[in-house]
Amino acid sequence: MTSASGPNAGWRSAMPGGGLLPSGLAGRTTPPGDGHGPETGPPTVTIGSYPDYSTAQRVVDYLADNRFPVEHTAIVGTNLTLVETVLGRMDTGRAALIGAGTGAWFGLFIGLLFGIFTVGNWLGVIVVGLVVGAIWGAIFGAVAHAMTGGQRDFTSASSLRAGQYAVIVDATLADQARQLLGRLNLGTSAPAPTPETR
């Protein structure tokens, strides 16, 4: 097999075999120090793939309970999907309100810093910092939203979700991990580990 060159060589070399994972993460071994960046450590082998994180976590916990050196283990999420959950509408008033809240926290922090070193009315300094921070935050929030020109009139939260979770271990410890996992009963709610050997 010829090796590809370039910054994505590890990824390309795994693709012709139909694998969905870069080398080293899907049961294939990858020698350290391939010349394309810093060494990533010893070769790794996938000992099981699971549909959810809790099952993969349970596998690693089981290995730890049986004195397996889990510092040579990793849980790798694959088939990643970016999910952006829309939380609600965003208009100038709401942007100003959110900005006021953020500014109030910042103003409170600045007020506390100045209040510590104030000889007189330290409570007044804290309140002034809070109020000034809220006003500037509201102004900044409203102006920032108005500058978008209505192109993003909603708030959202983004998260990454994996379709599958692979448990990988150093290649030298793979047989020991598989022997331990042979005794683990995952029950009927989760499929048994699917070891990949290549």
Question: For 23-48, what is the mean pLDDT?
Answer: 63
**Residue 36 in this model has a pLDDT that exceeds 70:** no
Name every residue whose Cβ is closer than 8 Å to that of residue 159 and which is 6 or more positions away in sequence.
Answer: 82, 83, 85
**Residue 25 in this model has a pLDDT that exceeds 50:** no
Residue with tokens 């290995």: 63
Cα dist from 138 to 157, 161, 194, whole Å: 21, 34, 54
Inter-residue contact 164 to 19 (CB < 8 Å): no
Q: Domain 43-88+161-198 is in which class?
A: alpha beta
Q: Kindly report the CA angle at 181 between 176 and 185, in degrees rounded to 5?
A: 160
d(CA 198, CA 182): 19
pLDDT of residue 100: 96
pTM of the full structure:
0.51
| Top-confidence residue, 30 or 76 | 76
**Residue 119 in this model has a pLDDT that exceeds 90:** no
Give span(s): CATH 3.30.70.790, the chain. Answer: 43-88+161-198
Provide the residue count of the chain: 198
Number of neighbours of residue 158 by Cβ within 10 angstroms = 8
Q: Residue 171, SS3? A: helix
* 154-170, strands of its sheet edge to edge: 44-50, 154-170, 73-89
Name every residue whose Cβ is closer than 8 Å to that of residue 152 and which is 6 or more positions away in sequence.
Answer: 90
d(CA 126, CA 116): 9
